[in-house]
Amino acid sequence: MKLLIKWIVKLISFFSSLMPRQWIRRCGAPLGFLWFDLLGFRKKIIFNNLQIAFPDWSEQKKHQVGRESVYQMAYSFAEFFTIPSMNAQWLAENAVFEGWENLEKARAQGKGMFFLSLHLGNGDVATNAIVLNGQPIYVITKRFKTQWFDNLWFSVRGAQGVQYIDAHGPSNAFDILKALKKNAGLVFVLDQFMGKPFGIETTFFGKRTGTAYGLALFHQKTKAPVLPVYTYEGTDKKLHVVFEPAMDTQHSLVEDKDQTILNLTQSFNNKIEEIVRKHPEQWMWVHRRWKDF
């Protein structure tokens, strides 16, 4: 069974390499239809989240944005299997890097850098595109408990050289500091709910929730720059990867270390909210972001 799944993945990746990018993405449309239109999976959660974030929107607009966000997730899943076949030509034809000079400015400091990111657009394809464009990347992420599936999934997800650090692994802190010494970019995805002991109470779109404080902790200790980095599908049908200037965190730093971590984490939430407002139809509204902390 394991061998069969591996061959199926390889076969899908091979055929994906032969098709134009938009054809591949549209292969995910049936999944979007099944998920949202037919089964209505997590539709209530989607609408509740949109009500929290955009209470003034009409029901029609909430439905439109919620539906599009699910379809975008389905498109991204279909495109996932193209990662092993990405190359320089693929980048030239399908990717647009906005603000790459901000990355180069941060890299010139030689401290490594943190990328503040979120589940918007196609993050897995974007991280591999960044590596192909010359910047080493490490992503802080959870791993699967089933070893063979974990190996298979991450072999596709990191096919172009993206490295992964277990979010709750025993050597997590050491691995992060080691990556910084290599002047790599470390991706922290902070738009999901996180309770104690790894999260602290913050607000997001004005409502209380829990957010992981790891990025704030490591920034406080290392002073490595924090760049908001995200991706979205442009009207030009290309993958846009955006690097904003490093955040000014000085106003968040106070004598009390715990208060500093809270201030930093809240500032990161505020930035993520700002990004979601730019492209709400491409954010992951299916997640229960506002659980009780």
pLDDT, tens digit, 9 for 90 and up, residues 181-195: 999 999 999 999 999
- Structure-model confidence comparison of residues 168 and 64, the more confident one: 64
In a domain, 239, yes or no: yes
213: in domain: yes
Asked whether residue 113 is domain-assigned, the answer is: yes
The DSSP code for 139 is: E
Q: What is the pLDDT of residue 2?
A: 64
Task: Specify the pTM.
Answer: 0.94
* C-alpha to C-alpha distance for 202 and 209, rounded to whole angstroms: 5
On whether residue 292 sits in a domain, the answer given is no
Q: Tell whether the model's pLDDT for residue 271 goes beyond 90.
A: yes
Strand positions, DSSP E, the chain: 95-98, 113-117, 137-141, 163-166, 185-189, 199-204, 207-212, 226-233, 239-243
Nearest CA-CA partner of 188 in 265, 251, 244: 265
CB 186 within 8 A of CB 138: yes
Task: Count the Cβ atoms, other than its own, within 10 Å of residue 44.
Answer: 9
- The domain containing residue 133 runs over which residues? 2-282
Q: Which pLDDT does position 148 carry in this prediction?
A: 85
What pLDDT sits at residue 82? 93
Lowest mean pLDDT among 50-54, 98-102, 255-259, 261-265: 255-259
Band of residue 290 on the pLDDT scale cut at 50, 70, 90: very high
- For residues 185 and 189, give the distance between their C-alpha atoms in angstroms, rounded to a whole number: 13
The band of 149, judged by pLDDT with boundaries at 50, 70 and 90, is: confident
Mean predicted confidence (pLDDT) in 96-112: 97
- Dihedral-angle region of residue 110 (phi above 0 means left; psi in -120 to 50 means alpha; beta otherwise): left
**Would you say residue 291 lies in a domain?**
no
DSSP letter, residue 288: -
Q: What's the pLDDT score for residue 11?
A: 76
Query: What is the bridge-based pairing of β-strands 239-243 and 226-233?
Result: antiparallel
**Torsion angle of the four alpha carbons 68, 74, 76, 78, in this order, in degrees rounded to the nearest 10:** -150
pLDDT exceeds 70 at position 27: yes
Structural domain count, the chain: 1
> How much is the average pLDDT of 131-158?
92
Whether residue 175 lies inside any domain: the answer is yes
255 SS3 class? coil
Whether 290 maps to a domain, the answer reads no
What is the distance between the alpha carbons of residues 233 and 88, in angstroms, rounded to a whole number?
A: 19
Half-sphere exposure of 107 (CA within 13 A, CB side): 14
Would 107 be classed as within a structural domain? yes
Residues 253 and 278: their CA atoms lie apart, in Å, by 28
Find out whether 275 and 230 touch, Cβ atoms under 8 Å: yes
